[in-house]
Structure 1
């Protein structure tokens, strides 16, 4: 009797070191394309004109600005080159755009070189991020923080 040979394990669909640099850049470039399409849409459809986008439910119900309030206006101003207005609409969102851009460049370079890219945030980092978002949310709703309100 012949013993059946076990089938080898299938190769992973995406491995950091596998393939050519162009193939390794497919996922980062696809992500960039999706983000660019979203920004292009917001750049073309002005959120300052009512009726194009829904109103923040927290703001509608309570009159309180959430951390994301003004984010679409900020994205529109950012993509159209009005950077001061973008910061005024939502400074936290602008910081997010810049962090995304830096992270994406690092991701693309590491992917092209066949190196893995991981964002490892510990509990302390998450607490710091949550605290910054909470402080931003509270301050922008207080009279002295009105410069942070959209």
Structure 2
């Protein structure tokens, strides 16, 4: 793990904060538009090519269904469809909330979560374990988990 100085950490946190707020705004707009018009982006997505060709799951299989379940407030279903989605939502949510609290308090409340490489490694491990479990269950027992 590399050590970052305070300036580098602040720069990374600032960039991620802006990206996070922008992403949250886009998600809110999508939810509003989908509620008003009935538009569903998943109706326009192609199926997973890896799954179509091989019959097995790629590391991202189930992600769209997990996001849809998360947007509908079905957290447990989202977790079972693809645990990375819930992990990323919780991590990003806490990052944005804690950074906002610290920024609004003008850094008097030191509660802000800061970026660490380990969060990416944990996410990668979740992707690998999820993909391995779903494919092993499909290979050995023929059970389709998605």
Q: Which interval holds the TM-score relative to the shorter structure?
A: 0.5 to 0.7
So what's the TM-score if we normalise by structure 2? 0.60
- Distance in 2 between the 1:57 and 1:75 partners? 19
Is 1:66 matched with 2:58? Answer: yes
Q: CA deviation at 1:40?
A: 5.3
SS class of match (2:46) = coil
1:84 pairs with 2:76? yes
Among candidates 91, 98, 102, match of residue 106 of structure 1: 98
Query: Higher relative CO (CA 8 A, sep ≥ 6), structure 1 or 2?
Result: 1
Higher helix residue share = 2
TM-score (norm 1): 0.59
- The residue that corresponds to 1:119 in the other structure is 115
Post-superposition Cα deviations, 1:11-60, rounded to whole Å, max 9, x if no partner, equal xxxx98xxxxxxxxx9354342123335556775173xxx5212122222
Q: Name the larger-Rg structure.
A: 1
In the alignment, what sits opposite 2:145?
149
The answer for unaligned runs of 5 or more in structure 2 is 1-9, 12-16
For structure 1, the 5+ residue unaligned runs are 1-14, 17-25
**Residue 42 of structure 1 contacts residue 75 of structure 1 at CA under 8 Å; is this kept in 2?**
no
RMSD: 3.6
